[in-house]
Structures are given as structure tokens and as C-alpha cells.
Amino acid sequence: MGQIYALMAVFLFIVSHSQVKVLSHLPVAEVVFFRAFGILLCSVPIMVLMKVSPLGVNRKKLFLRGAFGTVAIFSYFTTLQNLPLPNAVVLAQLSPFFAIFFAGLMLKEKNGLLVYGLFALALCGVFLIKDPELKFSIYYFLGILGAAFAALSYNFVRALRTTDHPLVVLSWFQFVLAPVSVLVLLVQGFVIPTKTDWLPILLLVTFSFLAQVCLTLAYQKAVMSKAASINFLAIPLSVAVAFFFFGEELKISQLLGIGLVFTAVTLNTVFRPSLERFLQRRT
């Protein structure tokens, strides 16, 4: 069930993060604030109706989830606004590699060589999807930094699965994110949204809320390596969205990369148990 939630989160995030691209003329902190405040407007009333305390149980880990997630979201939204959509998404999808590494350290989850081999195959696809004509910039560094902090955040989501309700985990992220975005916005300056900006803002909030709920459930119900691997599907989806909605053309190397990513994800999520049994019999 966790993998189904992860798949739903991928599609929902693509829609919400496309709106970040549409809102590139607004400061990053402003977009982050609208997202955080809007999600709280959705999550807090639901918790009240469900009689779930927003204070949570494991508050230290809840805060750390929010802190690491805040760094990740600022980094990711900055790359979304300054790089082509597929490139920003590719950098974000490096997080499963960090997530599996951190899961081994924090959650004692064991992964065989096959998992790392499949992720290596997916990584080859990631680099093929990246546009070779774009040179390195600070935004690529921010993308890698965001991926590492997102991985730490995801591990805390999983660590909280036995103590806190998914909506509490989601809300604490926003409790940390919202005030930080206000402080950054004081430096960046507030830009009054136009009439045409409010629909993308509404879509960003709605789809982000639904995606965050699915993501939290995914990392609480599935093994980290399986839930994280499904995130790779965001890469080919982002390439398609960039082509059809933002006019970014596909290259043959990117199509090949899409094929490698799909192959790695399919083998890891559907056929990995059978492959592991086959390899065990051969050794």
C-alpha cells in the first residue's frame, strides 16, 4: 500500500511543482509561504475534526523533520525557478540515494547489493536526462543539497510512523516552514500576486497538501528503498510536462534516460523479490 501512496504522490507533486515554475516571477520565500500557510489551512481543521492533537508526541523528531524539510524545499523551489523543470527534478531525485544511506544508519534497514545496483542504473538514466548543454551553476549545488536534506527529512517521516499521526507530521513541517519563509521574505521583499497568479497558487496548495499526505503515508508504510525508488517516475513525467507546457524539447539521450529510469524502477518495485531469490539460488 505504501508504494501506491508513493505513486500518487509523484503525480500530485508534478502538478504542484509545475505551478512553482509558473510562479517564477514571485520570490521563492513567498511561494513557500503560500504553500505552507495553505497546507495548514487544510490540515489543522481536519485534525480538529478527527480529534488529533497537532502538538504531536515525538516533538524533537517532528521539529527535525520540519527543519530538514525546510532546507530541502527552499533549495528545490529555487532550482525549479532557475533551471529547466526536468533538470530541477533530476537533482531532487538524487534524494533516494541519500535516503537509503541514511535509512541504514538511522533505521537499521538493510539493503542488498541488488538495490544499489538498480539505483546505479537509475542514476545513469538521471545523468542522461540532464541537458548536457547546461553548465554547472550554484543552482545545481542547491539541488544536490536539497536532495540530501530531503532524504534526512524522509527518514524522520519513517521514524515517526509509530508515534505520530501522518497529519501531525505534515503539519509540523509547515509549522517550521511558515515562520522561516516569513523571515526570508522580509529580506527578499513581498510581491503582490496578480489576478492570474491566484489559480496557480491555489493549485500549488491543493496538490501539495494531497501530495504531502500521500508521501507521508508512503514513507510510513513502505520500506524506504521501495518508496524512494518510485520517486524516479517524476523524472520522465517532468520531461513530458516541460515539453508540452513549457516548450522544452526532448533529446534522444533524454528519451534513453527515461527508459533506464523506468527499467530500474520496475525491477526494484515489481521484480526485485524474484530477482533476489534467483541470485540467492545462483550463489
pLDDT tens for each residue of 178-213 = 999 999 999 989 999 999 999 999 999 999 999 888
Nearest to 95 by CA among 182, 189, 13, 201: 13
Q: What is the pLDDT of residue 227?
A: 64
* Domain spans, the chain: 2-282
Look at residue 159 and tell me whether its pLDDT is greater than 80: yes
CA distance 104 to 120: 17
Nearest to 39 by CA among 173, 215, 157: 173
Write out the three cell numbers for 86.
Answer: 526536468
More confident residue, 75 or 159: 75
Average pLDDT, the chain: 83
Q: Could you tell me how far CA 33 lies from the centroid of its own chain? A: 17
Q: For residue range 26-80, what is the model confidence (pLDDT) as tens digits?
A: 999 999 999 999 999 999 999 999 999 998 999 999 999 999 999 999 999 999 9
Where residue 90 falls (left for φ over 0; alpha for ψ -120 to 50; beta otherwise) is alpha
CA distance 261 to 266: 8
Q: For residue range 81-97, what is the model confidence (pLDDT) as tens digits?
A: 988 888 788 788 777 66
N- to C-terminal Cα separation, the chain:
32
Look at residue 173 and tell me whether its pLDDT is greater than 90: yes
H-assigned helices in the chain: 2-22, 28-50, 59-82, 85-92, 95-106, 113-129, 138-159, 166-188, 198-221, 224-230, 234-246, 252-266, 272-282
Angle between helices 85-92 and 113-129 (to 10 degrees): 160
Burial tier of 109 (Cβ tally within 10 Å: 0-12, 13-18, 19+): middle
Q: Could you tell me how far CA 148 lies from the centroid of its own chain? A: 11
Write out the three cell numbers for 47.
Answer: 485534525
- pLDDT category at 162 given cuts 50, 70, 90 is confident
C-beta atoms surrounding 195 within 10 Å: 6
